[in-house]
Amino acid sequence: MHKNWLDWTALILVIIGALNWGLVGLANWNLVEMISGSMTWIATTIYILVGLAGLYSIYYLFKE
């Protein structure tokens, strides 16, 4: 199946989210918060995008 730009973007964001949660679980180290620093709106935006990418991935899993 051919992947478009949205498929690839969602995949990359889901991988970023998975790696971040892995780091939180293993080392109590939140990469997203480290990157965003004191700008919480950036972290919030990243979390929202990762969540939307997860929802899109559910759709992608079942699309033909």
Give the pLDDT confidence of 16-32 residue by residue, as tens digits: 999 999 999 999 999 99
Span 5-14, average pLDDT: 96
- Taking the whole predicted model, whether its pTM rises above 0.75 is answered as yes
Tell which wins on pLDDT, 48 or 38: 48
Residue pair 11/49 in contact by the 8 Å Cβ criterion: no
Long-range contacts of residues 42-47, Cβ cutoff 8 Å, at least 24 apart: 46/16
Q: Quote the DSSP letter at residue 37.
A: T
Give 38's pLDDT tier (boundaries 50, 70, 90): confident
